[in-house]
Amino acid sequence: MSAESVIAKQQQLLLHRPLALHLPTRLGFGAGGLAACAEWFAARAARVVLVVTSPPLAPLCEPLAAALRDQGLKAHVWEGVTQEPRIAHLQAGMRAARDCGADAIAGIGGGSAMDVAKLIAALLDGRQRIGEVFGIGLLHGRALPLACLPTTAGTGSEVSPIAIMQDTTDGQKKAIISSHLVPDAAFVDPALTIGAPREVTAASGIDALTHCIEAYANRQAHPFTDVWALEGIRRIGRSLVQAFDHPDDLAARSDVALGSLYGGLCLGPVNTAAVHALAYPPGSDHGIAHGVSNAVILPHVLEFNRGAIETKMERLAAYCGIARGFDGFLAHVNALCDELKVPRSLPAFIDGLEMDEERRKLIAEMAIVDPTAGGNPVELTVDGALDILDRAMKGRG
């Protein structure tokens, strides 16, 4: 496609696809996130803040609770979230919020803790149950004010209208998507990610990269969000391995945190596509970290989409300073996953994994109706999904 026709297509998009952005009213990036968050709650006249988190984050919650108390507020830390949260976590968190009389919620942690915090804040008034709100736009409102502080980079949940929860009725991970889930405030302080274990840095970094790639290559892509997506891909691509190898390198952590924020900002207006649609079931079935299942699927979805995205990927590669267009970018993604020690195939991750015919078919059928599948630049059919799964079983590169 010539440069002129690319510009003409973008003009068409600007005219015909209105963009709707729902953002936190306060978005902080940089040092001092914990103190800024406490000041924000005080300015909102909160009295009792429930801090929702996971046990490894206790060292970060203590200073947050102290900062809240310094502002004259009560702070209760609830550490009940584990990885890949389920409805039971949400219910326990709601009890904790009621027990302490919380009138505001802070979520501090990775996507798991932030997603639970978002749903506690949304559902605490009891007007709706979690089972009623899986899907798009079914949440009627949010009961309490909410601030999020990411400690991974990351899911982008601190700015997204999404929460992901495993539905106990069928064991599957499902999304709740609603503008009411966009936190009122987000404080992205890259220093909070320094303690993240290496495998979490790798998995969450690939997740963030995938958000940016899937937003940029998306059927719903928009020139407004392309700017964020491109810059996110460039920053994560150049600094994720450094953050993985040298966890204390604040410059690398900041680059990846900013890239992750850009990816999160794309989730609302554009969202993801076939990688996410296909990565959820193996994540639910085998407890594979979300970013890792993305990484195993990503190269094969790029190949699947090649015909529709080749020109865009050439521009992306050029923007990131990568030679050889689409092929160069694909090689860059594969090399990145290798350096991050991400397994090359699904069976390499789960020893002896087998996926029987029936399960494969079911995963493919679930993927094509996932809310993210519609954004894929090439229509995701059952056969296409099966082909991608087969390739992910065999492995990349």
Ligand X SMILES: NC(=O)c1ccc[n+]([C@@H]2O[C@H](COP(=O)([O-])OP(=O)(O)OC[C@H]3O[C@@H](n4cnc5c(N)ncnc54)[C@H](O)[C@@H]3O)[C@@H](O)[C@H]2O)c1
Residue with tokens 């979300």, as numbered in its chain? 290
When CB distances are held under 5 to 8 angstroms depending on the partner's kind, the choice from Fe ion, ligand X, none that residue 71 binds is none
DSSP state of 183: -
Q: How far is the CB of 80 from ligand X (least distance, A)?
A: 11
Q: Which is nearer to ligand X, 93 or 322 (CB)?
A: 93
* Cα 40 to Cα 161, 360, 384, distances in angstroms: 21, 48, 48
78 vs 280 by CB, closer to Fe ion: 280
CB of 142 to ligand X, least distance (A): 14
Please report, as residue ranges, which positions from 109 to 138 form the binding site for ligand X (by CB under 6 A): 109-113, 115
CB 12 → ligand X: shortest distance, Å?
A: 29
Q: Which residue has the tokens 């409805």?
A: 87
* SS3 call for 68: helix
Report residue 252 as tokens.
């690398």
- Of residues 180-219, which lie at the interface with ligand X (CB under 6 A)? 192-193, 195-197, 200, 203-204, 207
Produce one character per residue of 323-360: b if its CB has 16 or more CB atoms within 10 Å, e if not.
eebbeebbbbbbebbeebebbbbbbebbeeeebeeeeb
Q: Which of ligand X, Fe ion, none binds 203 (CB below 5-8 Å, type-dependent)?
A: ligand X
Question: Under rule CB under 5 A, which residues in 200-259 are in contact with Fe ion?
Answer: 207
Decide: is 261 part of the binding site for ligand X (CB under 6 A). Answer: no
- Of 25-64, binders to ligand X (CB under 6 A) are 54, 56-57
Rounded-to-integer distance, Cα 342 and Cα 392, Å: 13
Element housing 165 (H / E): strand 162-167
Residues 212 and 230: their CA atoms lie apart, in Å, by 7
Residue 189, interface with Fe ion (CB under 5 A)?
A: no
The bridge status of strand 185-188 relative to strand 74-78 is unpaired
162 binds, among Fe ion, ligand X, none (CB under 5 to 8 A by kind): ligand X
What residue ranges bind Fe ion (CB under 5 A)? 207
What residue ranges bind ligand X (CB under 6 A)? 54, 56-57, 83-84, 109-113, 115, 151-152, 154-157, 160, 162-164, 173, 192-193, 195-197, 200, 203-204, 207, 267, 290-291
